[in-house]
Structure 1
C-alpha cells in the first residue's frame, strides 16, 4: 500500500515497515475500522474546512482506490438495535482507535483499557432528550475518569472546531475550562475524520407508563444532574459561538 505510519497500542507511532511486519505474522488478525457486512446508512458532504498550504510542493495525503471522494463522510449505524444505549462493536472499536488514549486531562491510559462514555448523558427514560449513541458523542475514559465524570461535578463537551478537529473540553464547578488532549489519532490518520457512527433514527420505543393525573413526575437526583449538565452545555455552546463571532476571521 501507500507509505505512511501506523500506531500500536502500548507503543505509539510505528513505521509502515513495522506495520507490514506485524501484518505478515501468522497470528495477526486484520480488522477494518468500518463494518464489512453492514452497509453505510448514508454518505453526506462534509462542511468545507480551511486548510493552509506551504506552496505547490506541499505533500498530499495518498488515497486508496476505494476511498470515498474528498469532502464526503460515510455514516454507519452506531447503536445496537435491541438496546440503543449500547454502541455496536464496530462503533466501539472505531472510537477507541480514534481516541487512542483516555480523554480525561492528563491521563495516559489506553483507550482499549477504558470505558466508552456518552459525553452528553443518555436518557433512558426519554432517549430523544438525552445524548445519542454516536461516535461524535462517545469517547474513551478510564474507569476512574468515567466515575469522576458520572458522580462528580465536572462537565465535559465534545465538538468539532472550524477546521474539523474533534475538541474535548472540561469545565469545573468554578468555571475553569480545561482543554482535553491536543490531538487524537485523527491527526495521524486523517481519513478517520470521514467516518461517523450515528444512532439510527428509529429505535425501539420507550415503554409506556400509565399514570393518573395526580401522579407526581418521576424525578431523581440523576435526572436533575443530567438536566443541569444539559443547561451548562447549552450555556457553554452559546459562549463559544459568541467568542467565535467576536474573534472574526484571521487577519491574513
Structure 2
C-alpha cells in the first residue's frame, strides 16, 4: 500500500507544480502572465524533480504510467503492481489538477481564452496532424525512457538522481516539446483532462476528447519501445 500512496502523492505534486506553472503563465492577471516557454519547461522539469524526491525512496517514483508499463514490459517491474501504480498515478494527477484550479480560483473567470484554460490542464498540438502528433509523443517518451535507463546504469551521489531526471525532462521540453506540449505521461494528460471536464470552470469550453488518445497511447508505446531497444542494444 505504501508504494501506491507514494505514487499518488508524487504524481499529485508533479501536476500541482507542472500545471501550476502553466496556469501562472496563461491565466489573466497572474503575476507570471506572459512568461515564456523557458518558464514552463524549467517549471515542469523541477516539478518532476520534486515529485521524484517525494516518492522515490518508497515506490521508485514512476509517477507516469508510461514508465510503469515500459519497465514491466522489459521485465524490470512486477506486472502485479502495474494496475495499482497506474490507478494511483491517475488519481494523483486529478488531485494535483484540482489543487491548481483552487489555487488560481479567481483567475479563471477573468480569462476568456478557452484554449488557454484547457492548456493548463492537458496538452494540445501546435498543428493538429494526428500522425505527426502521435510521433512527437512517441519520440519524446522514447527519449525519456531511454534517458531513464541510461541514468539508472550510472552511479550518482545520494540525492542527485532526481535532479538528473528533471534535467532530462527540461531538455525534452526545450528540444522536442514545441509540437504537442510534450505530455510524455498518460496520467499527466488524461487525469487533468478529466478534472477539466468535471470542474466548474467558468467559460471553459470542451475538453478536446478527440485528441486525448494521442498523449495516452503515444507515450505508452514510445516508452515500451525505448526499454526494449535499450535492453537489445546496451
TM-score by shorter chain over 0.5: no
Structure having the higher strand fraction is: 1
TM, length-normalised to structure 2 = 0.24
The higher radius of gyration belongs to 1
- Structure number with the bigger relative contact order (C-alpha 8 A, sep ≥ 6) is 2
TM, length-normalised to structure 1 = 0.23
